[in-house]
């Protein structure tokens, strides 16, 4: 029996209607605890937050614009990968799709990523397996870029201050080693038959098309490096609101730290974890933990406004495209 292009998204929707299982319940619990911790922290630091009302609006606008540029660069990475995998998707369309995914990822369970996969399947007929291969390749290339940026910036900070953060050096070096090893080692093949085997083969084909095409991989890494350079500028500006004045290399380390927790994303949009990672990375380089945590929280507040603006527009656009594609598929199957 042949399934229509939107049959899997429909099954996913039905799965969402099922009672909460232990995994989903744990995700919601972690989310609520994390959000509660953030609210408690902000209330405890209210005296420090009040003077920030006087932060110039133009500075907040610059931070927001830099975030929007970061969204555009992330979307551009995936556009290159999707095109390599055979999806005929436009740059602007993918930017809106990525923004919609970022907004939806503020709910537990990586809802936004699932939404993007479903959209690509329904609208552009890109299988879930090939979408996943693009996601996995992007993840490892991001590992590589994060490790390179973080390691170089940490070593530079060590040379400036004469003190070395061996923990950060080990973490960033580990990312580089893991990424390089995963990119050069061929994925195992299978001679078995069945749905799972076919899915694995489609994933493997997509993975090979990306990792064996040097220009595509190099382009993604280049975008990642530019993205971290811009993120460091943004963090430098946001941290200046709480009195942190450090060399640019310091904020490159902070930018790389945000990349690490984004990989994990145990909480929606890494809420709480991102702020903690920035605080620990800053502390490892000699800046007071609670001050860095406060600066990261302020950056999150500005960032969330832009996520709602871009993601909301993206959700409206992509939902309409999805509806049209499903209607067309239903009419053609009659």
Dump pLDDT digits (tens) for 182-233: 888 877 777 777 778 788 888 888 888 887 778 888 999 999 999 999 999 9
- Please state, in angstroms and rounded to a whole number, the distance separating the CA atoms of residues 69 and 294: 23
pLDDT of residue 161: 85
Query: Among 266, 265, 251, which residue's Cα sits nearest to residue 299?
Result: 251
Q: Is residue 265 part of a domain?
A: yes
Q: Write out pLDDT tens, residues 128-183.
A: 998 999 898 888 899 999 999 999 999 999 998 888 999 999 999 999 999 999 88
Q: Is residue 30 part of a domain?
A: no
| Region of residue 20 (phi > 0: left; psi between -120 and 50: alpha; otherwise: beta) | beta
Number of domains making up the chain: 1
Judge if pTM exceeds 0.85. Answer: no
- Please state, in angstroms and rounded to a whole number, the distance separating the CA atoms of residues 154 and 232: 13
Q: Is residue 227 part of a domain?
A: yes
pLDDT of residue 213: 78
Q: Is residue 44 part of a domain?
A: no
Q: Is residue 213 part of a domain?
A: yes
Average pLDDT over residues 110-126: 91
Give the DSSP letter of residue 16: H
pLDDT of residue 8: 42
Cβ-contact 120, 89 below 8 angstroms: yes
- Please state, in angstroms and rounded to a whole number, the distance separating the CA atoms of residues 265 and 59: 28
- Domain interval for residue 62: 57-332
Q: Is residue 183 part of a domain?
A: yes
Tokens at residue 95, please? 């930017």
Q: Write out pLDDT tens, residues 250-306.
A: 999 999 999 888 776 777 788 888 888 999 999 999 999 988 988 888 888 888 889
Query: Among 112, 66, 117, 74, which residue's Cα sits nearest to residue 95?
Result: 74
Q: Is residue 19 part of a domain?
A: no
- Please state, in angstroms and rounded to a whole number, the distance separating the CA atoms of residues 232 and 282: 13
């Amino acid at each position: 029996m042949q399934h229509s292009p939107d049959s899997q998204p429909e099954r996913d929707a039905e799965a969402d209607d099922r009672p909460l299982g232990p995994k989903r319940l744990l995700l919601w619990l972690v989310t609520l605890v994390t959000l509660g911790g953030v609210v408690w922290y902000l209330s405890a630091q209210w005296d420090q937050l009040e003077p920030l009302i006087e932060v110039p609006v133009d500075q907040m606008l610059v931070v927001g614009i830099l975030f929007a540029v970061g969204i555009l660069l992330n979307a551009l990475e995936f556009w290159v990968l999707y095109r390599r995998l055979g999806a005929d998707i436009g740059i602007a369309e993918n930017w809106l799709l990525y923004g919609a995914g970022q907004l939806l990822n503020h709910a537990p369970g990586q809802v936004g990523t699932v939404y993007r996969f479903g959209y690509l399947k329904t609208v552009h007929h890109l299988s879930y397996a090939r979408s996943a291969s693009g996601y996995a390749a992007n993840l490892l290339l991001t590992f590589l870029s994060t490790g390179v940026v973080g390691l170089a910036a940490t070593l530079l900070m060590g040379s400036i201050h004469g003190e070395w953060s061996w923990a950060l050096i080990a973490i960033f070096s580990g990312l580089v080693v893991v990424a390089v090893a995963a990119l050069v080692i061929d994925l195992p093949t299978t001679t078995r038959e069945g749905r799972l085997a076919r899915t694995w083969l489609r994933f493997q084909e997509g993975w090979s098309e990306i990792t064996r095409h040097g220009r595509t991989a190099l382009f993604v890494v280049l975008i990642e490096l530019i993205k971290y350079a811009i993120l460091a500028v943004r963090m430098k500006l946001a941290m200046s609101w709480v009195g942190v004045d450090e060399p640019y290399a310091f904020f490159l380390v902070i930018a790389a730290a945000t990349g690490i927790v984004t990989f994990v994303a145990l909480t929606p949009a890494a809420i709480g974890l991102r702020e903690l990672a920035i605080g620990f990375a800053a502390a490892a380089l000699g800046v007071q933990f609670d001050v860095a945590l406060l600066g990261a929280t302020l950056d999150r507040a500005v960032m969330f406004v832009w996520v709602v603006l871009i993601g909301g527009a993206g959700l409206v656009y992509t939902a309409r495209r999805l509806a049209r594609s499903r209607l067309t598929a239903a009419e053609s199957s009659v």
